[in-house]
Chain A
Amino acid sequence: MKAINRFLFAGALAAALPGLSQAAPPDDTIVVGLSADASTFDPAQISSRDNSNIAKHIFASLFKVNFEGAVEPYLVDTTTISEDGLAYTFSIKPDLTCEDGEPLTAEDVAYSFNRAADPANAFTGNTPGFVYTTLGFKSAEVVDDLNVTINVTAKTTLAPGMMAQVLIHCKDSYEAMTLEQAAATPIGSGSYRLASWERGSQIVLEKVKDPGTFDTIIWRIIPEASTRTAELIAGNVDIITNVAPDQVPAIDASGSATVEKVNGTRRMQVGFNLGKGVEGMPGAAEIQDPKVRFALQYAVDVPSICTQLLGAECTRMTSLVNPPNGNPDLVPIPYDPEMAETLLDEAGYPRAENGVRFSIRLQGPRGRYLNDANVVQAIGQYLNDVGIETEVELLEWASVYSPLLRTKEMGPLFFLGQGGVTWNPLYDMSLFSTPDGATNYQSWTDQRWFDDWKLAIDADTVEAARPIIDRMLKLFYDEGPWLQLYFQPDLYGVSSRIDWTPRRDEEIELFAATLK
């Protein structure tokens, strides 16, 4: 009876709304549901991952990071590095064009690099920001039609990976545009062109050349996680990002989609703030002792946090380097609260009569990382269990947590995730390139690490630096400033009509996606 009533009700409403039902995407179209809109398509202004994911279908780059996580040539044909390692000369592939038909030459590559660095443009995107800072970008010069030289201030094995982030565009078309036009109506060098952008609703890309399986890519902006899930199950979108762990069973049971889990490159940790920003606070002196920090590694049941709170098995961290680039001799520290208690006793912090060894504050953001608030509270409870009275404080990211991080005043314990890469361990390790570096939020000053860092970064290749890297990672494992948790699992909802495998680095690459 219920089924009949439902049928009649649905029929009546459908009859009242003729021709208005939502259709599933056609076969030549793939639809992706994102949580946030793009803010700009000016290559030098892009700063968010969602924005970059779309732009990488519109613009090509000299190199790209492939699915396996290695850097490989994209527009580049051959590479020559000067003896001092300060000049990279690239020969680009012939017969390249931009979307409007303009030939793409070495002049356009040099223009793309120099335009982003031009202070007159006051760009604030990732390229003129951390990419050029890490690369040590100095200038780009045209050698001839197909050859361009990129000059850097210091030799680095990170160069190709960083250059993979610089999006290439054609000089003539961009010189004819205002900055506002460049932001809204890009002229790309990649496989797709921006066909339309309904701000806040959707972005439509149309294929102009290979690679790319689908003629049309639609990026729909669906901020609410449960709405994204509903759209996926209803068959209106093919891929959704940031699936909430509590919605995984519903998607898997729907029959129309499944959840693909991938262990990402984001390194989740509890940082030990060893600096002056928390000097004098409860617990700040105790965590200065490496033995205390090592003891706490045993206190937190990371596998249970992953399965119970994140809905996935996680890859455990053994250092700040993403697999497979870590030290293979290091194994994840198991959950062993008794061992934690023994080590804390040995470190000189026995339980007092009230059962407390010492007190400390653990701060964490709310809504920044996968189920972060619950994870932080669980960690706080695990620390309480071994006698460390932990006050958990959850803070809003944008206005409170982020400024505290920057000024290094959070903690003494703080929950944090930091993005990493698969193509070079030194990139992951560069968080600790100097004792007072911006990303050394822990103010870790162990001189052994920083002496080795200079040796590692000066090596000609990563392979040559490998013994040093392994030594550094062992030091980080034993005495480092992180309570090492997990590489954050990324959950994607994928429609059963398509074949698509997510990457580890949060990049949504649709070139190889196909219909089943």
Chain B
Amino acid sequence: MWTFIIRRLLQSAIVIIGVTLITFTALQMSGDPTYLYVSERATDEEIQRTRVALGFDKPLPEQYLTFLGKLAQGDFGNSLSYKRPAIEAVMDALPATLELTLFAMMLAIVVAIPLGVVASLNRGSPVDGSIMTMGMLGQSIPSFWLGIMMIMFFGLQLRILPISGHVPFITPLVQGNFVEAFTNLPQALYYLIMPGFAVAFYSISRNARLVRSSMLEVLGQDFVRTARAKGISETAVVVRHALRNAWLPVVTMIGLEFGFLIGGVVVVEMVFSWPGIGRLVFNAINQRDIPVVQAAVVVLALVFIALNLIVDLIYAKIDPRVKL
């Protein structure tokens, strides 16, 4: 197993270089960003001074190699917009995104699995039809539209959920302020409900459909028939025998889910004023704040790699056929 982990970590270094190179090239392709950091009245001398100060006067390969050299030392450079270390800006925003993503993942699992199971057990019935219709809707509705509709209904009409904002939980927890973290927890969850659901709705729908089809496949197999013939209760057949075997594709999907949800939070973070990494990167791209974009991409890639590694390890644990 350790050989597998080490091999994966080495592969991840190549992935990191790849994503930074692609990001760097993409951001540089549209020209010199210096103009974004000078006033419209800036003289040529002022523009050149700023260009030198920001490091954009050097050839692109040199800029990239300098970046890689510093990256190896954990230095992403200073944010051009925020005038502070880019990694600090990213790490400040990361907890909010993790809160949102983990909450959405939890919803995507906790809500989707029962829905999928119920639909499979009632195949062809109105219950199945309703759940699958919801699934189709969930995969069709854009998250930003859903978010705005939720704001209109729950925030403005009913006034029972906050329209926007964020109460931190992970940040005080990581800082060791446990009292603050757990005092904040109810409010943090309260503020998470709408953005969390807006992010998760697509995944809930997709996972429910996946669980349903996976369950239908398993429920038709011989060992399930045997279990029923032995007189085991239907609940035990479903939970212990069918669901356990239907679980494998779902675990794979959950592993990929995080990356998908991270991508989906950008728009939702904008709609709900959620101070996360998606919004930070969105603004950084608009501002051509290359150090922040690079830092965010590397951090997210590392998180994604780590999660995939964990999923692979779990997969090996729950499926004895898989050897690492």
A-side residues, CB < 8 A to B, are 6, 9-10, 13-14, 17, 20-22, 36, 39-40, 42, 45, 47, 119, 122, 124, 126, 129-130, 133-134, 179-180, 183-184, 198-201, 220-224, 226-227, 230-231, 233-234, 236, 398-400, 402-403, 406, 418, 438-439
Contact = CB atoms under 8 A, between A and B. Distances in A.
A30 B311 CA distance: 48
B319 interface: no
A399 B286 CA distance: 8
A398 B288 contact: yes
B273 A201 contact: yes
Contacts of B43: 133, 438
A478 B272 CA distance: 49
A200 B283 CA distance: 11
B164 A227 contact: yes
Nearest to B164: A227
A119 B52 CA distance: 12
Given A39-B83, A226-B151, 5 more contacts: A42-B83, A183-B82, A200-B276, A227-B272, A400-B30
B35 A13 contact: no
Contacts of A184: 84
Given A45-B83, A398-B287, A220 B37 contact: no
A292 B73 CA distance: 61
B321 interface: no
A126 B37 CA distance: 10
B151 A13 contact: no
A199 B92 contact: yes
B33 to A, nearest CB: 8
B270 interface: yes
Contacts of A418: 40
Interface stretch (B56-64, B126-134, B154-162, B206-214): B154-162
B151 A134 contact: no
A119 B45 CA distance: 13
Contacts of B283: 36
Given A130-B42, A184-B84, A230 B158 contact: no
B166 to A, nearest CB: 6
A445 B283 CA distance: 38
Given A124-B38, A130-B39, A233-B156, A227 B151 contact: yes
A399 B155 contact: no
Given A130-B42, A398-B287, A220 B160 contact: no
B240 interface: no
B152 A230 contact: yes
Interface of B: 30-33, 35-44, 46-47, 49-50, 53-54, 81-84, 89, 92-93, 96, 148, 151-152, 155-166, 168, 186-187, 190, 270-273, 275-276, 279-280, 283, 286-288
Nearest to B190: A20
Contacts of A42: 83
B275 A201 contact: yes
Given A133-B42, A183-B83, A198 B275 contact: yes
B280 A200 contact: yes
B160 A10 contact: yes
Given A200-B93, A400-B30, A403-B35, A129 B273 contact: no
B163 A231 contact: yes
Nearest to A15: B160
Contacts of A234: 155-156, 159, 163
Contact of B270 (A224, A398, A400): A224
Contacts of B35: 402-403, 406
Nearest to B40: A439
Contacts of A183: 82-84
B160 A226 contact: no
Contact of A20 (B31, B39, B151, B187): B187
Contact of B163 (A10, A126, A199, A227): A227
Contacts of A47: 37, 39
A129 B53 contact: no
B41 A230 contact: no
Contacts of A39: 81-83
Q: Give 6 closest A-B pairs by Cβ, nearest first.
A: A200-B275, A399-B30, A130-B41, A130-B39, A20-B190, A10-B158
B271 A224 contact: yes
Contacts of A199: 89, 92-93, 275
Given A234-B155, A236-B163, A400-B30, A224 B273 contact: yes
Contacts of A233: 156
A164 to B, nearest CB: 16
Contacts of A133: 41-43, 46
Contacts of A220: 165, 273
Given A184-B84, A201-B273, A129 B46 contact: yes
A294 B151 CA distance: 49
A223 B269 CA distance: 9
Contacts of A403: 30-32, 35
Contact of A398 (B53, B162, B286): B286
Contacts of B38: 124, 129
A234 B160 CA distance: 11
A129 B39 contact: yes
Contacts of B272: 227
A14 B164 CA distance: 17
B42 A129 contact: yes
A236 B165 CA distance: 11
Contacts of B50: 124
Contacts of B279: 200, 223
Contact of A402 (B36, B83, B93): B36
A358 B17 CA distance: 51
Contacts of A236: 163
Contacts of B286: 398
Contacts of A130: 39-42
Nearest to B288: A398
A180 B156 contact: no
A44 to B, nearest CB: 10
B160 A180 contact: no
